[in-house]
């Protein structure tokens, strides 16, 4: 299960406590992902979601608010990118009271129209405002976040969460609501829609906490720690590998110089101090300078040993020239 769907299902585990919160949730949900559709001579407002539990959650609230006589319809599900997509339909005539109450439709001389303006009367109470944000989160949010625990491969896709809508005004008003909780996003246009996106992981955690997805907050915190630890280990491994490569390259260069001298004028022609380190290197070709110092009976510092090797390399270069 994706991180996005997991967080949405977590939100739906907690029922709305009062009628005003229920209306605010439905308002946010339908405003953010509702579509008007005409089918068999009837007009519907359709909600499309990959969260199967959403229908039962909505139906319980509708029953609580309007009684048993009003029932939403579940359309045939279908698949997109291995995800099952569910359609929930609200017939306008049956749901006129609900749709007017949540402020998503309006009637005029020109007929029925979908209203993208957020009904501020639903957001007077703190609980209602949070419920509205929950509805928008479930209806319009998508996320590229992947947890390392859900994949055998490392997940380095970054942290990105966005809300998509056909209405720039709706996203602008919604972003102002989020800003009241210091959750700041940016809006841009993508093809025929608008996107409000969050890329700061701390901001995303604040949003998840706001909508009540506390387990998802913890999972994301663990993911941050996991990625930081993995990156730290990778840096250390890269550093170790770089040092090994430097050690090998230096050793090869030193051994080659010693062999040049040995094959031309002989090692015995070298000063005694250079003979000692030459023989030591030939006997321990894979060791670093620090390891050579431990193996040597010569009292030298690391820089002193390195200085002697530089002298040997210089002599070899002169012999080759």
Give the DSSP per-residue string, 70-82. ---EE---EEETT
Which single residue is written with the structure tokens 């290197």? 281
Q: What pLDDT is attached to residue 50?
A: 81
| CA 12 – CA 139 distance, rounded (Å) | 12
| CA 63 – CA 257 distance, rounded (Å) | 89
- Give Rg (Cα) of the chain: 34
| CA 250 – CA 246 distance, rounded (Å) | 6
CB 27, CB 103: distance < 8 Å: yes
- The most distant pair of C-alpha atoms in the chain lies apart, rounded to whole Å, by 109
Distances in Å between the Cα of 60 and the Cα atoms of 46, 54, 104, 213, 245 are 18, 10, 20, 20, 66
CB 302, CB 290: distance < 8 Å: yes
Q: What pLDDT is attached to residue 247?
A: 82
Specify the pTM.
0.73
| CA 100 – CA 105 distance, rounded (Å) | 6
Over the chain (321 residues), the average pLDDT of each successive run of 10 is: 87 87 89 80 80 85 73 56 72 77 74 74 86 92 80 62 90 92 92 89 92 90 86 87 84 86 85 84 83 80 86 87 75
| CA 183 – CA 204 distance, rounded (Å) | 8
CB 45, CB 72: distance < 8 Å: no
Q: What pLDDT is attached to residue 152?
A: 45
User: What torsion, rounded to 10 degrees, do the Cα atoms 10, 17, 87, 199 define?
Assistant: -50
CB 181, CB 126: distance < 8 Å: no
**Residue ranges of the domains in the chain?**
3-212, 245-320
CATH class of 3-212: alpha beta
pLDDT digits (tens, 9 = 90+) for 181-209: 999 999 999 888 899 999 888 999 999 99
| CA 123 – CA 131 distance, rounded (Å) | 9
Pick from 227, 207, 223, 211: which is nearest to 161 by CA?
Answer: 207
| CA 183 – CA 176 distance, rounded (Å) | 9
Q: What pLDDT is attached to residue 228?
A: 84
Q: What pLDDT is attached to residue 131?
A: 92
């Amino acid at each position: 299960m994706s991180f996005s769907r997991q967080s949405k299902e977590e939100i739906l585990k907690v029922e709305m406590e009062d009628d005003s919160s229920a209306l605010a949730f439905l308002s946010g949900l339908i405003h953010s992902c509702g579509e008007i559709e005409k089918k068999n001579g009837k007009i519907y407002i359709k909600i499309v979601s990959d969260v199967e539990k959403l229908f039962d959650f909505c139906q319980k609230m509708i029953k609580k608010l309007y009684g048993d006589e009003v029932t939403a319809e579940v359309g045939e599900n279908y698949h997109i990118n291995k995800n099952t997509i569910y359609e929930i339909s609200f017939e306008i005539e049956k749901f006129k009271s609900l749709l007017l109450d949540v402020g998503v439709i309006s009637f005029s001389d020109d007929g029925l129209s979908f209203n993208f303006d957020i009904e501020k009367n639903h957001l007077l109470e703190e609980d209602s405002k949070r419920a509205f944000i929950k509805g928008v989160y479930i209806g319009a949010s998508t996320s590229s976040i992947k947890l390392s625990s859900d994949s055998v491969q490392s997940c380095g896709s970054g942290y990105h969460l966005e809300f998509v809508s056909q209405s720039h005004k709706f996203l602008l008003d919604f972003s102002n609501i989020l800003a009241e909780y210091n959750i700041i996003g940016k809006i841009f246009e993508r093809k025929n829609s608008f996107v409000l996106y969050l890329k700061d992981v701390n901001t995303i955690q604040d949003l998840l906490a706001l909508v009540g997805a506390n387990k998802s907050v913890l999972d994301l915190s663990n993911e941050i720690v996991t990625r930081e630890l993995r990156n730290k280990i990778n840096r250390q491994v890269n550093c170790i590998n770089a040092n090994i490569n430097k050690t090998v390259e230096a050793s090869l260069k030193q051994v080659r110089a010693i062999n040049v001298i040995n094959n031309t004028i002989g090692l015995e022609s070298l000063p005694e101090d250079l003979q000692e380190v030459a023989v030591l290197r030939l006997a321990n070709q894979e060791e670093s300078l620090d390891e050579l110092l431990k193996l040597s009976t010569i009292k030298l510092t690391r820089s002193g040993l390195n200085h002697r090797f530089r002298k040997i390399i210089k002599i070899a270069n002169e012999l080759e020239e």
